Amino acid sequence: MELKEQILHMLKTVYDPEIPVNIYDLGLIYDIDMDEAKNVVVTMTLTAPACPAADYIMEDVRMKVESVPDVKSVEVKIVFEPEWHPGLMSEEAKLELGFL
């Protein structure tokens, strides 16, 4: 499995404790960037700027991506542009949360 696929697999194990869908399928992951030294930057957002689980989610992302073999370091960047909206969710997430 390619390194980026392994990272995506790990991101799909991260959940907002208040929502029963992983952060990847929620559409919270905007970008995964990796340099030649395999330092990873995950750019993501939250469903709301005042999300009470923000620190927990960020730390879970960092720890799980760091656990992927060959990843040297992980930086998690939280952005609010573009703003998250339900249209960013996968079809599976929309179905799970009753949007379909």
The string of DSSP codes covering 57-73 is HHHHHHHHHHTSTT--E
Residues of the chain with pLDDT under 50: none
Q: Using an 8 Å Cβ cutoff, are 94 and 27 in contact? A: no
- In CATH terms, 3-96 corresponds, of 3.40.640.10, 3.40.50.300, 3.30.300.130, 1.10.10.10, to 3.30.300.130
Indicate yes or no: pTM above 0.85: yes
- Residue-wise pLDDT for 76-95, tens only, equals 999 999 999 999 999 999 99
Element (H, E) at 32: strand 29-34
Q: Could you give the CA distance from residue 45 to residue 29 in angstroms, rounded to a whole number?
A: 7
pLDDT of 63 = 98
